[in-house]
Amino acid sequence: AKHIDPDVLAVQPFIFTEMLVTRGRGELSGVGVKGVDPKLVRGVLDLDTYMLEGSVDALGKPRAPGELPPTIIGKELAHKLRAKVGDEVTIVIPQIASGWDSNMQQAPRSRNFRVAGIFYSGFDEYDRRLMYTALRDEQDLIGRGDMVMGVEMKVKHVNRASEIAKHLEE
């Protein structure tokens, strides 16, 4: 990251998608699913400090064939889903987000994930609506290949963020 700009301390590619989540036969809840790079996320986000249970490391652990991909969810969402670490949840992509023609009778795409951690940030919107997955798992889920929406950065001086962004854009 340092060769990009001396003020950039760390970078982390991500995808953020509005989806739905459910557990068992429960109701669907709207969520924002953020796919992050398990190797780089710590450099930019201090998610570790907000973990109540489980670990950010779970997102990057190798999986056995057939093992469900991990997700980390907010405390209020866990409460709403009645989900604890180890439980299975289903993430559903609404048809609009997946770009299907509304005339098609195809079911929305969904995938089961295993709750690997629960965080509490103190921001109600995050704790109630945010889920983290590994970037690759979210790329697989949305089926758009090896693409990201953006790159988050940690910078030395936050008051210079817009200046740094402009420099990087050039």
Q: What is the pLDDT of residue 119?
A: 97
Nearest of 131, 2, 156 to residue 58 by alpha carbon: 131
Model confidence at 2, in pLDDT bands (50, 70, 90)? very low
Count of all residues that appear for the chain in the document: 170
Give long-range contacts, CB 8 A cutoff, 24+ apart: 134-137: 134/35, 134/36, 134/37, 134/38, 134/59, 134/60, 134/69, 134/70, 135/13, 135/14, 135/15, 135/35, 135/36, 135/37, 135/38, 136/35, 137/35, 137/69, 137/70, 137/113
Q: Tell me: the pLDDT tens digits for 41-66?
A: 988 888 999 999 999 999 999 999 99
pTM attached to this predicted model: 0.86
Q: Tell me: the pLDDT tens digits for 112-134?
A: 999 999 999 999 999 999 999 99
Q: Which residues contact 129 (CB under 8 A, 6 or more apart)?
A: 29, 30, 31, 32, 74, 77
Q: Which residues contact 123 (CB under 8 A, 6 or more apart)?
A: none
Q: What is the pLDDT of residue 95?
A: 67
Residue 142's CB is within 10 A of a number of other CB atoms, namely: 19
Mean of the per-residue pLDDT values for the chain?
88
